[in-house]
Chain A
Amino acid sequence: MVAAQVGLVSLMSNGKTGHTRLGTPEMPRDTRSPNGAVVEFENVSKTFHSPKGPVHAVNGLTMALQPGQTIAFLGPNGAGKSTSLNMLLGLSRPDSGRVALFGGTAAEAIKHGMVGAMLQSGGLMSDVTVKEQVELWAKLHPRPIPVIDALKRANIADLADRRVDKLSGGQQQRVQFAMAIIGDSPLIVLDEPTTGMDVENRQAFWATMRERAYEGKTVLFATHYLEEADQFAERVIVINKGRLLADGSSAEIKASAGAKRLSFRLPGVQDAVLHRLPNLVSVERQADIVRLQTSDSDATLYALLDAGYRPAEIEIQALGLEQAFIAITAEDNNHADGTTATLEAAR
């Protein structure tokens, strides 16, 4: 990956059009090489009409996915993830803008077996066995891998003769997983793929996905498990309120979010004092120990010192992707609404 392509996307949005700028000004847009892209979103918008007024589910989203990448697609609930994935897969149409798969429409790509998709639970038949279900998928795709291979990779070879509708949620997820990989498609799209799986199967799942990525396949997954995105994705795309918020490797996002945990011992300090500190994301107290999450640990600490306090045992720690995610979405909500973001709102 070219270093210039990544990094936190500027949060500036041109208020009138809702257009989000991609990358920093010195980064020419065409470094994303639209021609070689597996998935392209170009200024895509989708609005739903509810009784309370229009909801801009996706608002000027632009992104491009390159072949061979494993990409995590993250966003708080209601950020527009599902709407984006639906448009990507051709299940719904954008109001404006352009969505392309392999340079053409989603329908064409799907018709040629270019996409293996795993939606959230439910997309299974009743009254059929696991083997029959996966065999059907093999027949539907032009270049399937052997059924037994798909079953083994999804760790369900022992369930082959069981009825699909009699399986547990986690087992059904694995059946869907077998269906997503059996077509040997160059693009694999997974919506919350590991929900309901136990730890062991989750490991097996990601091991298989890594193999697919090594084969040059593009794997795009939406997940609630941020540690999975942290561990398995080369690239993380964060959207919020229908716009692209951050795009880069997990490490880059963590770094650019600047989210740090600042902890110290400070007996008798008032809560109100802590809450007045700048750049705060969250506050946690345990007796004399205070743990702050902050988007600028230096500024927060200096403000505390300037206020005349002398904390002891100061520790500053970089945070995981989850905290970075919370920090940047909270900051974005803050910017746009002019109101104080809460952790709840960010999640």
Chain B
Amino acid sequence: MNATLTLTKLDVMRVIRNGRYLIFAIAMPAALYLIIGKQTTTADGVQFKAYYMLAMATYGAFAGALMNNSIRIATERKSGWTRQLRLTPLPGWGYVFAKVVTSLATTVPSVLVVFGIGAFLNHVDMPAWKWVVNALVLWLASMTFVSLAVAIGYRFDPETAQPAVMLVFFPMALLGGLWFPLGGTLEKIGKWFPTYQAHKLGTDIISTGKVSATSIAVVAGWGVLFALLAIVSYRSAKEQ
């Protein structure tokens, strides 16, 4: 266990040192929120500054969970790093464990930075418990994309992992209303995605303090689907 934790700690440090993570998961959503988030309109029953804070925090958390790990797992499988680890006393699950924990850890700063901008610069106002619950909900929802990262990392090569991530994630982010609020047909489609529903959990908490079972079911459903994909990909990669 000690060995696994050491690997995990090192994996987290590597992510923080890596420029791509900082840009996609922290700097980009924070910058977009700073630029766009000041409008005084409303969306989904909350002030736009709160809507867009949740949107960018969701985007950052999911991107952080997904992008870094999927490409790293694919690269490290190819480079022989995972083989090298198999020649140490590290338990077989240690590598994936470290990756999952790393993903979960790296979603935290994305959420905190955007929430910080919301609270201190854009003056989003809500009771303390709603801040905490919103952050926790986002963190739990990002598990969905932690699983997807493992699935893609074990299924694709380093060269194809990145396009695969983009192809899955950008439509989900767009249709989920994370870049701008949607209406009409696009929103009807978007409702089926975990991006949309994870964000809606947040706006519902702010506006009514209650969440819908549909939102939880959609996010959890995708979570289960991606987890199954991850298990299948991991197993078939191990057999090769």
Contact = CB atoms under 8 A, between A and B. Distances in A.
Chain A complexes with chain B? yes
A132 to B, nearest CB: 6
B10 A128 contact: yes
25 contacts: A90-B86, A110-B88, A113-B89, A117-B84, A119-B87, A120-B80, A122-B84, A123-B83, A124-B79, A125-B10, A125-B14, A125-B81, A126-B14, A127-B13, A127-B14, A132-B13, A136-B7, A136-B10, A137-B88, A139-B3, A140-B3, A140-B88, A140-B89, A141-B88, A142-B89
Contacts of B14: 125-128
Contacts of B88: 110, 137, 140-141, 183
Contacts of A125: 10, 14, 81
A31 B18 CA distance: 56
A115 interface: yes
B81 A124 contact: yes
Contact of B6 (A112, A113, A117, A140): A140
Interface string A134-150: 00110111100000000
Which of the four size classes fits the interface of chain A? 20 to 34
A91 interface: yes
A276 interface: no
A139 B6 contact: yes
Nearest to B94: A140
* Chain B interface main SS type: helix
Contacts of B79: 122-124
A124 B79 CA distance: 8
* Chain A interface main SS type: loop
Nearest to A176: B84
Contact of A123 (B7, B17, B75, B81): B81
A89 interface: yes
B87 A115 contact: yes
Interface in B89-105: 89-90
Contact of B80 (A113, A122, A127): A122
Interface string B103-128: 00000000000000000000000000
Closest 5 CB pairs of A and B: A123-B84, A122-B80, A127-B14, A139-B6, A117-B87
Contact of B13 (A110, A117, A123, A128): A128
A172 to B, nearest CB: 11
B48 to A, nearest CB: 38
A124 B75 CA distance: 11
Nearest to A112: B89
A136 B88 CA distance: 11
Contact of A110 (B3, B7, B80, B89): B89
B6 A91 contact: no
A29 interface: no
Contacts of A127: 13-14, 17-18
A141 B14 CA distance: 21
A111 interface: yes
B2 interface: yes
Given A126-B75, A139-B2, A179-B84, 12 more contacts: A90-B86, A91-B86, A115-B87, A117-B84, A119-B80, A119-B84, A123-B79, A124-B81, A127-B13, A127-B17, A132-B10, A136-B6
B142 to A, nearest CB: 22
Interface string A265-297: 000000000000000000000000000000000
B71 to A, nearest CB: 11
Contacts of A117: 84, 87
Contacts, number: 65
Contacts of B90: 140
A91 B87 CA distance: 8
A115 B17 CA distance: 32
A128 B75 CA distance: 15
Contacts of B3: 139-140
Nearest to B86: A91
Contacts of A128: 10, 13-14
Contacts of B17: 127
Nearest to A120: B80
A127 B12 CA distance: 11
A128 B6 CA distance: 13
Contacts of A141: 88-89
A141 B84 CA distance: 13
A308 to B, nearest CB: 60
A126 B14 CA distance: 8
Which of B2, B13, B87 is most buried by chain A, counting CB atoms within 10 A of its CB? Answer: B87
A123 B87 CA distance: 11
A125 B11 CA distance: 9
A160 to B, nearest CB: 15
B97 to A, nearest CB: 14
A142 B3 CA distance: 10
A120 B79 CA distance: 10
Contact of A119 (B2, B6, B83): B83
B53 to A, nearest CB: 30
Interface string B63-91: 00000000000010001110110111110
Contacts of B10: 125, 128, 132, 136
B11 to A, nearest CB: 9
Interface in B133-188: none
Interface in A132-175: 132, 136-137, 139-142
